[in-house]
Amino acid sequence: MTAKWIRCALGFLCLPMLQALNAAETDVLKAQQARVEVVQKVATSVVAIFSADGNGGGSGVLISADGYALSNYHVTSACGDFMKCGLNDGKLYDAVIVGIDPTGDVAVLKLLGRDDFPHATLGDSDALAVGDWTYAMGNPFLLATDFQPTVTAGIVSGLHRYQYPAGTLLEYTDCIQVDTSINPGNSGGPLFNAAGELVGINGRISVEKRGRVNVGAGYSISINQIKHFLDHLKGGHVVDHATLGATVRTGADRIVLIDSILEQSDAYRRGLREDDELVAFAGRPIGSVNQYKNILGIYPKGWSLPLVYRRDGKKQEIVVELRALHRASELKQPATPKAPRPQPKGKKGPEGPDGEGPATAKLPDEKLPDEYKKLFVKKTGYANYYFNQQEQQRVLRGLDSLQSWKAVSGKWKLTGKTVANEDFSLTMSETKLGLLLPNRPGLQPLENGADFLDEPPGSGGLLAALQQLKLLLTNGPEVFTEFSYVGSQPLDGRGASVDVLLTRKGGVETLWYFRKADATFVGFDSSLGTDVDACEIRFLQFGDFAGKKFPSRFTIRHGDADFATFDVLTMEVGPAAATEGAN
Amino acid sequence: MSTNFGRSRAALMRVALIIAGLNVFTANHSAFAQSSGETIASVSPKVVKIFGAGGGAKLHAYGTGFLVSDKGHIVTVWSHILDGDTVNVVLHDGRRFEGKVVGAEPPLDMAVLKIEAEGLPYFDLAQAAAAGPGTRVLAFSNAWKVATGDEPVTVMHGVISAKTTLAARRGAFESPYTGPIYVVDAITNNSGAAGGVLTTWDGRLLGMLGKELRNTQSNTWLNYVMPMSELKQTTEEIITGRFSRTKKDDPDEDSPGKPKLRRYEALDFGIVTIPDVVTRTPAYIDRILPGSQAEKVGLLPNDLILFVGEDLVQSCRMLRDELGRLEANDPLKVIVRRGDVLVSVEMVTPRKGEE
């Protein structure tokens, strides 16, 4: 009786509630199902990284079908030039180091043997909000002998965190703080948002008295920072971060002031001075020194960024080119893989678990196939020069439409008008370069190792710059003493993203720009030295000159001023053209 | 009968679990994001970063507190950070104020600071809530000093695992607070996190994050939170100026034999130690107050205090902790080193009210 009564009462009380709960239960199950699906999908992109002999290890994540993967520098640096990578299909793949960022603790490697690797989709880390769900995946404590990644879930605890340099170079700027459990072995692994998009690379945790395990604060390098460096890294570089060439301090009312500035810096040449108030940098307002460091830390050297400063109540906007943060020698990569860091007895490898068993994976003892060995080329300043060569070839395809210039020798003679309706005449022979332009003529001898000069004066070396173009088009990159792929950057700080090639010859350094979207050759900067403003040439239009393509309209800029915009009307080339003229 | 009842109970439990499940796990991400986003936006500005005394490897000089009045009152933990005359209080918007301790209750491990600011967002103590195990919670603190200036404090998520009483220690020292606590499943109690807040998912204040302590039984690190119900009355009394260190709920505050809640300190015996400047400042006597017990038993400036009772005292801090554990009329044996000799003296803790 009593039991029946209770059941009746319960039924009576709970019926509407149960209905609501059934609906809610369905929602819970749906959400769970969705979560399971996201995890299953992205788990295929998670990489367990080991050194070739199975020592140490960490995590990584694939970002392209042809096998490019991201990890931490502190993981790959202990694993050698060739690594073994496990995916959740249970298979072990060979991988080669591509590029490293010792300052930002990022490495790019390439898994080999497939062109259909499952890979993660890059998300937008700036779209994260504190409280958002995240998943960290990887191989903490090297638990997964079958390479099934461990998944942990948590929330974003803080954004735009600045973590002071640990040791010499390493600095985490603008990073994502999560309470998602991150442990030794997770290093280099992905942080996903709830939708399964890659938003960060887990690399650092706060530790103190509780040992080297998660204590609720993990730090992830934002994917947006990595995007800035990705092409540099894919170019095989040991990449460097940047400095403005100025230090800042906090003034009264939390404004940030320029404390000191290098006179050699681009920022100084653009007009920035001590005691100027820094208002905005790279489009972000500056309210603290940390914010400034956060912004500076996410860009590679050589990038140009808009900067707003205030002096005497007046705001000025300039675009400044960033200088290298380190000297090349400071970033020097050890030629041979580092021995695993010494660990207490019974623990091997840099990411060894703390007393949780051996950190050595038993990997099949396979020799590296010969075809893979050629995928690594050692060169100073590079993690793997092979990939720089690959990128050089890719970007040079932007010159395909200008192929007809190849091996064309002899004099160039261009005539035309400036937009100010002045006549110009440009002659480029084997022995000298000359420009006839009202009030701004220029002459540059080429014989007897003559130095390149700022000719015409105030152009930053227009004649020298055009000579570089002539060399590139007629001789190809081999004619330069140095030729490399740099990476990508927004053209002039605010334009479309461009791939950058670098050449050096006879004291002239030239950066060549090719629009990433369609490989179009859009311009170049030639500098006559370091710490001087370049002569910047931007192509606005190409024309056809006797069957050959050439810029028919281009602007010339130096420092803060436009030098001229040329419209090329005629172009005579080489002895053949000269003969034709004589007839 | 009992079986049937059991089944009904099981059904009820299931219902309860589903309700809890809704709370405890994500019904869906967007619903969570909305509510937690709003909670975070409303709670974060009420939490402040505190910078004070300390520094060095093991004694961090930063902590957390939370605003509890529109007059700039801030509740935080009673700690070495407050040892100086003032502390720096940094608001969510980066504004920096000098904070002064207006009251402290060491047995509750709490203190109230005040900054000269009005109209700031604050927790209304009347709205403070209580919760049981299984409740989803958010923790806000400046753990690890990861936030400076106008950077928002750290937010963590978790679940209340248990309500119990605190039995914990730091090093060899028992926690002065032994009252009720929430234990949470997130690693909330880190360096600098003490004085932060625990709130419900919708932003109601549950309690104050405690210090980094170990469970006395299991020796494991504890993530505990002191419920606001324990702190509320003292906080209000300090704010209104009605607070005296002996609790108001003790009707017989002057009656002898009642344990005194106030901690004893060296000054109670007429001893002034040298300034406590480093983590392990040796407990040298700087001055002896005239007419004090210390003078009567013959302690002298430059004596180094080595033992209090049976315990070796290696620093001013340890001396303070040892003395703080004394009760009225306790005999106090102190051994000091004077030159090359050890000198032993005995004193008696003064009764409160005799000062």
- Amino acid, single-letter form, for residue B98: E
Domain of residue B103, CATH code: 2.40.10.120
Interface of A with B in 33-72 (CB under 8 A): 34-35
Interface of B with A in 255-274 (CB under 8 A): none
Length of chain B measured in residues: 355
Q: CA of A28 to nearest chain B CA: how many angstroms apart?
A: 5
> Distance between CA atoms of B232 and A399, rounded to whole angstroms?
75
Answer yes or no: is pLDDT of A115 > 70. yes
Torsion of CA B286, B292, B295, B300, to 10 degrees: -10
Interface of A with B in 219-258 (CB under 8 A): 254
Which residue is listed with tokens 């301090």? A249
User: Which pLDDT belongs to residue B354?
Assistant: 36
Q: CA of A161 to nearest chain B CA: how many angstroms apart?
A: 7
Interface of B with A in 79-138 (CB under 8 A): 94-95
pLDDT band at residue B205 using 50, 70 and 90 as cut-offs: very high
**Residue A7 forms contact with B (CB below 8 Å):** yes
Q: Are A222 and A203 in contact (CB under 8 A)?
A: no
> Distance between CA atoms of A437 and A434, rounded to whole angstroms?
10
User: DSSP string covering B21-34, please?
Assistant: HHHHS-S-HHHHHH
Q: CA of A11 to nearest chain B CA: how many angstroms apart?
A: 10
Q: Are A344 and A203 in contact (CB under 8 A)?
A: no
Q: Which two tokens stand for residue A335?
A: 């030629």
Q: Average pLDDT for residues B89-97, to the nearest whole number?
A: 93
- Residues B285 and B197 placed together within one structural domain of the fold: no
User: DSSP string covering A518-562, please?
Assistant: T--EEEEEEESSTTSPPEEEEEEEEEEETTEEEEEEEEEEETTEE
Residues of B in contact with A215 (CB under 8 A): 187, 190
- Residues B306 and B175 placed together within one structural domain of the fold: no
Answer yes or no: is pLDDT of A331 > 50. yes
> Distance between CA atoms of A25 and A398, rounded to whole angstroms?
57
> Distance between CA atoms of A218 and A188, rounded to whole angstroms?
12
**Residue B276 forms contact with A (CB below 8 Å):** no
Nearest to A179 among B29, B39, B186 (CB): B186
B17 domain residue, yes or no: yes
User: Which pLDDT belongs to residue A53?
Assistant: 85
User: Shortest CA distance to A187 belongs to which of A45, A363, A333, A57?
Assistant: A57
| DSSP 8-state symbol, A330 | G
To 10 degrees, what angle do helices A223-234 and A385-396 make? Answer: 90
User: Counting one residue from A and one from B, how many pairs have CB atoms under 8 Å apart?
Assistant: 129
pLDDT band at residue B257 using 50, 70 and 90 as cut-offs: very low
Nearest to B94 among A25, A27, A288 (CB): A288
- Residues B76 and B107 placed together within one structural domain of the fold: yes
**Residue A91 forms contact with B (CB below 8 Å):** no
A74-114 pLDDT per residue, tens: 999 999 999 999 999 999 999 999 999 999 999 999 999 99
User: Which pLDDT belongs to residue A390?
Assistant: 98
Residues of B in contact with A7 (CB under 8 A): 4, 8
- Residues B23 and B58 placed together within one structural domain of the fold: no
User: Residue B116 contacts by C-beta under 8 Å, 6 or more apart in sequence?
Assistant: B72, B97, B98
- Residues B10 and B125 placed together within one structural domain of the fold: no
User: Residue B238 contacts by C-beta under 8 Å, 6 or more apart in sequence?
Assistant: B73, B102, B103, B105, B112
pTM greater than 0.95? no
Interface test with B, best of A132, A206, A207, A214 (most B CBs within 10 A): A206
> Which has more confidence, B268 or B235?
B235
Q: Does the distance separating the beta carbons of A157 and B154 come in below 8 Å?
A: yes
User: Which pLDDT belongs to residue A363?
Assistant: 66
**Residue A208 forms contact with B (CB below 8 Å):** yes
**Residue B152 forms contact with A (CB below 8 Å):** yes
Active-site residues of A, by number, are: 74, 105, 187
Chain A's closest residue to B139, CA to CA, is A157
> Which has more confidence, B21 or B73?
B73
Q: Are A69 and A112 in contact (CB under 8 A)?
A: no
**Residue B59 forms contact with A (CB below 8 Å):** no
**Residue B17 forms contact with A (CB below 8 Å):** no
Strands (E), A246-402: 246-250, 256-261, 277-281, 284-285, 304-311, 314-321, 323-324
Instruction: Phi first, then psi: give them for residue A400, nearest 5 degrees.
Output: -55, -40
Q: Are A102 and A112 in contact (CB under 8 A)?
A: no
pLDDT band at residue A48 using 50, 70 and 90 as cut-offs: very high
> Distance between CA atoms of B298 and A109, rounded to whole angstroms?
74
> Distance between CA atoms of A458 and A411, rounded to whole angstroms?
25
**Residue A148 forms contact with B (CB below 8 Å):** no
B259 domain residue, yes or no: no
Interface of A with B in 526-555 (CB under 8 A): none
Interface test with B, best of A155, A212, A254, A292 (most B CBs within 10 A): A155
Q: Does the distance separating the beta carbons of B149 and A290 come in below 8 Å?
A: yes
Q: CA of A36 to nearest chain B CA: how many angstroms apart?
A: 13
Chain B's closest residue to A8, CA to CA, is B8
Alpha carbon of A403 to those of A472, A474, B257: distances in Å?
11, 9, 102
Residues of B in contact with A6 (CB under 8 A): 4-5, 8
B337 domain residue, yes or no: yes
Q: Which two tokens stand for residue A82?
A: 């060739």
- Residues B141 and B213 placed together within one structural domain of the fold: yes
**Residue A576 forms contact with B (CB below 8 Å):** no
Answer yes or no: is pLDDT of A582 > 60. no
Structurally, chain B folds into a number of domains equal to 3
Q: How is the beta sheet containing B213-215 ordered, strand by strand?
A: B173-174, B168-170, B213-215, B221-222
Q: Which two tokens stand for residue A418?
A: 């400036």
B43 domain residue, yes or no: yes
Residues of B in contact with A208 (CB under 8 A): 190-191
A495-505 pLDDT per residue, tens: 999 999 999 99
pLDDT band at residue B255 using 50, 70 and 90 as cut-offs: very low
Q: Are B186 and B197 in contact (CB under 8 A)?
A: no
A217-241 pLDDT per residue, tens: 999 999 999 999 999 999 999 999 9
Region of poorest pLDDT, from A259-263, A469-473, B252-256: B252-256
Nearest to A179 among B29, B156, B191 (CB): B156
- Residues B20 and B63 placed together within one structural domain of the fold: no
Q: Does the distance separating the beta carbons of A34 and B28 come in below 8 Å?
A: yes
**Residue A213 forms contact with B (CB below 8 Å):** no
Region of poorest pLDDT, from A118-132, A289-303, B115-129, B311-325: B311-325
User: What CATH number does domain A44-241+326-383 carry, 3.40.50.300, 2.40.10.120, 1.10.760.10, 1.10.10.10?
Assistant: 2.40.10.120
> Distance between CA atoms of B251 and B238, rounded to whole angstroms?
18
Interface test with A, best of B157, B159, B188, B223 (most A CBs within 10 A): B157
**Residue A179 forms contact with B (CB below 8 Å):** yes
Q: Which two tokens stand for residue A454?
A: 């700022």
> Distance between CA atoms of B279 and B125, rounded to whole angstroms?
35
What is the distance, to the nearest Å, from the Cα of residue B321 to the centroid of all Cα atoms in its chain? Answer: 14
Interface of B with A in 284-343 (CB under 8 A): none
Q: Do domains A44-241+326-383 and A400-582 have the same CATH topology?
A: no
Chain B's closest residue to A216, CA to CA, is B187
Domain that includes residue B329, residue range: 266-348
Q: Does the distance separating the beta carbons of A7 and B190 come in below 8 Å?
A: no
- Residues B239 and B125 placed together within one structural domain of the fold: yes
User: Shortest CA distance to A176 belongs to which of A224, A214, A231?
Assistant: A224
Q: CA of B190 to nearest chain A CA: how many angstroms apart?
A: 8
Instruction: Phi first, then psi: give them for residue A2, nearest 5 degrees.
Output: -60, -45
Q: CA of A299 to nearest chain B CA: how many angstroms apart?
A: 21
User: Which pLDDT belongs to residue B243?
Assistant: 83
- Sign of the alpha-carbon torsion through A210, A213, A218, A224: positive
User: Shortest CA distance to B198 belongs to which of B159, B178, B222, B225?
Assistant: B225
Answer yes or no: is pLDDT of A539 > 60. yes
Q: Average pLDDT for residues A265-275, to the nearest whole number?
A: 96
> Distance between CA atoms of A186 and A140, rounded to whole angstroms?
5
> Which has more confidence, A32 or A145?
A32
pLDDT band at residue B350 using 50, 70 and 90 as cut-offs: confident
- Residues B56 and B103 placed together within one structural domain of the fold: yes
User: Which pLDDT belongs to residue B170?
Assistant: 76
Residues of A in contact with B32 (CB under 8 A): 131, 133
User: Shortest CA distance to B157 belongs to which of A219, A131, A128?
Assistant: A131
Q: CB-hemisphere CA count at 13 Å for A311?
A: 12
Answer yes or no: is pLDDT of B251 > 50. no
Answer yes or no: is pLDDT of B130 > 50. yes
Length of chain A measured in residues: 583
User: Which pLDDT belongs to residue A55?
Assistant: 78
pLDDT band at residue A187 using 50, 70 and 90 as cut-offs: very high
User: Which pLDDT belongs to residue A491?
Assistant: 96
What is the distance, to the nearest Å, from the Cα of residue B145 to the centroid of all Cα atoms in its chain? Answer: 18
Give percent of chain B above pLDDT 70. Answer: 82
The domain locations on chain A are: 1-37, 44-241+326-383, 242-324, 400-582
B256 domain residue, yes or no: no
User: Which pLDDT belongs to residue B260?
Assistant: 39
A503-530 pLDDT per residue, tens: 999 899 999 999 999 999 999 999 999 8
Answer yes or no: is pLDDT of A561 > 50. yes
Q: Determine which helix (DSSP H) or strand (DSSP E) holds A97, and give its type and residue range.
A: strand A92-101
Answer yes or no: is pLDDT of B22 > 70. no
Count Cβ atoms within 10 A of the Cβ of residue A219 and give its class: 0-12 exposed, 13-18 middle, 19 or more buried: buried
Q: Does the distance separating the beta carbons of A254 and B94 come in below 8 Å?
A: yes
| CATH 2.30.42.10 is held by the domain A242-324 | yes
> Which has more confidence, A21 or B42?
B42
> Which has more confidence, A431 or B174?
A431
User: Which pLDDT belongs to residue A4?
Assistant: 54
- Residues B272 and B310 placed together within one structural domain of the fold: yes
Helices and strands, number each (H, E), in chain A: 9, 31
Q: Average pLDDT for residues A251-266, to the nearest whole number?
A: 91
What are the start-end ranges of the H helices in A158-253? 223-234
Report the DSSP beta bridge partners of residue A136. Answer: A152, A191
Q: Are A120 and A45 in contact (CB under 8 A)?
A: yes
**Residue A217 forms contact with B (CB below 8 Å):** yes
Q: Which two tokens stand for residue A68?
A: 């490019």
Q: CA of A202 to nearest chain B CA: how many angstroms apart?
A: 17
Answer yes or no: is pLDDT of A204 > 80. yes
User: Shortest CA distance to A497 belongs to which of A512, A514, A483, A521?
Assistant: A514
Q: Are B291 and B284 in contact (CB under 8 A)?
A: no
pLDDT band at residue B329 using 50, 70 and 90 as cut-offs: confident
Q: Are A485 and A302 in contact (CB under 8 A)?
A: no
User: Which pLDDT belongs to residue B218?
Assistant: 84
Interface of A with B in 11-40 (CB under 8 A): 14, 17-18, 21, 24-25, 27-28, 30-32, 34-35
b/e B117-133 (16+ beta carbons within 10 angstroms → b): eeebebbebeebbebee
Q: Does the distance separating the beta carbons of B22 and A254 come in below 8 Å?
A: no
Nearest to A129 among B11, B37, B157 (CB): B37
Q: CA of B188 to nearest chain A CA: how many angstroms apart?
A: 7
A68-71 vs A58-62, strand pairing mode: antiparallel
Helices and strands, number each (H, E), in chain B: 5, 22
What is the distance, to the nearest Å, from the Cα of residue A528 to the centroid of all Cα atoms in its chain? Answer: 26
Q: For the domain bounded by A400-582, which CATH number is listed?
A: 2.50.20
User: Residue B91 contacts by C-beta under 8 Å, 6 or more apart in sequence?
Assistant: B45, B48, B97, B117, B120
- Residues B203 and B85 placed together within one structural domain of the fold: yes
- Residues B128 and B223 placed together within one structural domain of the fold: yes
Interface test with B, best of A130, A173, A290 (most B CBs within 10 A): A130
The ipTM of this complex is: 0.83
User: Which pLDDT belongs to residue A359?
Assistant: 52
User: Which pLDDT belongs to residue B252?
Assistant: 43
Q: Determine which helix (DSSP H) or strand (DSSP E) holds A22, and give its type and residue range.
A: helix A2-43
